[in-house]
Structure 1
Amino acid sequence: MTITQRDGDRASRIAANLPYLRRYARALTGSQESGDRYAAATLEAILADSSALDGVPDDKTALFRVLHSIWQASKVAPDQVGGGLQAAAQKHLAHLTDDTREALLLHTIEEFDYDQVAAIMRVEPAEARELVTIARREMAESVAGRVLIIEDEPVIAMDLENLVSELGHQITGVARTRDEAVRIGSADRPDLILADIRLADASSGIDAVNDLLKEFGALPVIFITAFPERLLTGERPEPAFLISKPYKEDQVRSAVSQAMFFSSTETLHGA
């Protein structure tokens, strides 16, 4: 195989993993816009110096390691952040142990094993495991809020309700359709929305969320879908938090805990 062919193969593998790089970056920052900027910066760094991908067994791990290096180098102190949800998040994050949130996202949402997390973060596997353990404990204890679940499958809805309740959050309601979601959400404002994409009456969870966001303004939202890559193109308004179906319990717990950090401090209990 020629060098050109190898480069072409690597470029194809990077392109295939780009949607998931966007997902990770959006979850780190709490927004599509900020997350996509980090993903773009990662690609620019690789184009400038492809050797940044060397020394790691697989291209996906190498790609995430480049992003992690950029993220680490660009972190700002909480007092340097402006207002709004980002400032609220930074206030909460200031109380977390360094690097724990990143490790938790990499392991649970992106499903890297501890060796891969260690390679991305440039730590030992045992430290990566410890960081995830600490993150689970600290994030579960930090924030509790009110969650609206939009899901038409009764078994899945019940499972989500149990998982979210176990984290200490209050369920404001479970909706099966767009109209029901808007009615429940309007009557009892949530701090977080957890929504399926396709609902019982062929309505859209995205439309339901958009209706509520028009009424309340900024709220963190987690979408659940069997086709995450369709909402990770970077070409249109897309979610910052996304879980793939079929999901694992740890993914739900992690996504809910992460998203809660981007809720308003005025509405969160114990903020």
Structure 2
Amino acid sequence: MSISKEIAAHLPYLRRFARALSGSQQSGDAYVVATLEALIADPTIFPRDMPGRHALYRVFLALWSTTSQRSLPVPDVDRQTSAERNLETLTPRPRQAFLLCAVEGFSIDEVARILSTSREDASALIHKAGQEIADQVATDVLIIEDEPIIALDIEALVGDLGHRVVGIARTHREAVILVASKTPGLVLADIQLADGSSGLDAVNEILTAVNVPVIFITAYPERLLTGDKPEPAFLITKPFQPDAVKAAISQALFFDRKALQPA
């Protein structure tokens, strides 16, 4: 298959990534065009030992690393979103890893391959981005979890990112009471709680009073992924990987999306 056919379907996603990385559509598109011109001039730079989308992003980032950003259009600060402005404060390499994971949906292993680094280094880059984001948007976190050991593990992950846990609720009622007294900036919630109550119901009640992003951490993802709306934007399956939870926390706060609005 020709390179043009192999990458055609991936170009809209590369434009999205380029815009997020550069801070503006104009600059991002300029980098995408430069990438295509480089591929036309020398097709051998396109790696044939990896999937087409991965190869395209690797070529793009190699060009990004070697091209002077001063030669490309300057972002229009007045038209940037808060997330785009926040991205500019992240150091370059962690920003690339974070966006590959958070925006493009690549796994840590895929991020490592695209960046030509080890899995450990890719994980460290994403973690560093999470720490830098926490410095910007450190917040109070409510944990809704009935299993004490898991709750403590999540609390430690939250603390590692520089956030503060304002309470751990084991039931629907405890969660609602805690929110009334200590308004959180983020909620991490299980679905099945200690007294048989529902973490989903607790979240929906909380969202009627507080506008806050939510991440569900559950052993029962099928209860949320039903095909009906609304569905959560941030869903971690138990048993969870610490890096996945940290990445989800950073994404939820950075982009400030709401995981699930009340039905």
TM-score (norm 2): 0.60
Aligned match of 2:96: 99
Q: Contact 2:234 / 2:248 at 8 angstroms: preserved in 1?
A: yes
5 Å-filtered alignment, 1:200-211, equals 200-211=194-205
Q: Is the 8 A contact 2:127 2:246 kept in 1?
A: no
Which residue pairs with 1:125 in the alignment?
117
List per-residue Cα deviations over 1:197-238 (Å, max 9, x = no partner).
Answer: 11111111111011111012x211010112435534553101
Partner of 2:162, secondary structure, is coil
**2:190 aligned residue:** 196
Which letter does structure 2 place at the counterpart of 1:245? K
Task: Report the Cα distance in structure 1 between the residues aligned to 2:55 and 2:200, rounded to whole angstroms.
Answer: 32
Unmatched tracts of structure 1, length 5 or more: 1-24, 30-54, 69-75, 82-86, 265-271
- For 1:127-157, what per-residue CA distance to the aligned partner results, in whole angstroms no more than 9, with x for missing partners? 9837536424423433211000000111111
| 8 A Cα contact 1:147 1:172, kept in partner | yes
Counterparts of 1:130-149 in structure 2, within 5 Å, are: 131-132=125-126, 134-149=128-143
Distance 2:83 2:125 in 1: 19
- Aligned with residue 167 of structure 1, among 145, 149, 161: 161
- The aligned amino acid for 2:117 is P
Which amino acid is the alignment partner of residue 135 of structure 1? A
Whole-Å Cα distance in 1 between the matches of residues 52 and 224 of structure 2? Answer: 23
Change (3 A) 1:232 1:67: farther
**Maintained 8 Å contact 2:134/2:250:** yes
Percent identity over the alignment?
45
The AA in structure 2 aligned to 1:240 is A
User: What TM-score do you get using the length of structure 1 for normalisation?
Assistant: 0.58
- Pair member with larger Rg: 2
Task: Identify if the C-alpha distance between structure 1 residues 92 and 229 changes in structure 2 by more than 3 Å, giving closer, same or farther.
Answer: farther
Any idea what SS the aligned residue of 2:239 has? Answer: coil
**d(CA) in 2 for partners of 1:63 and 1:232?**
27
Where in structure 2 are the equivalents of 1:145-156 lying within 5 Å? Answer: 145-156=139-150
- The residue that corresponds to 2:79 in the other structure is 80
Whole-angstrom distance in 2 between the partners of 1:166 and 1:64: 30
3-state SS of the aligned residue for 2:208?
helix
CA contact (8 A) 1:151 1:196 kept: yes
Match of 1:224 in 2: 217
Call closer, same or farther: CA 1:203–1:65 in 2, change over 3 Å: farther
Query: Does the C-alpha gap of structure 1 residues 242 and 110 become closer, same or farther in structure 2, counting only changes over 3 Å?
Result: farther
* Structure 2: gaps (5+ residues): 1-15, 21-47, 59-74, 258-263
- Structure possessing the higher relative contact order (Cα contacts under 8 Å, 6 or more residues apart): 1
Matches of 1:252 and 1:77, distance apart in 2: 33
Does 2:235 align with 1:242? yes
**Alignment RMSD (CA, Å):** 3.8
Whole-Å separation in 2 of the counterparts to 1:79 and 1:240 = 28
CA distance in 1 between partners of 2:88 and 2:115 (Å) = 21
Equivalent residue letter for 1:219: V
Deviations 1:3-23 (A, max 9, x none): xxxxxxxxxxxxxxxxxxxxx
Whether 1:185 aligns to 2:179 is yes
- For 1:44-98, what per-residue CA distance to the aligned partner results, in whole angstroms no more than 9, with x for missing partners? xxxxxxxxxxx676xxx76888999xxxxxxx966435xxxxx443342332234
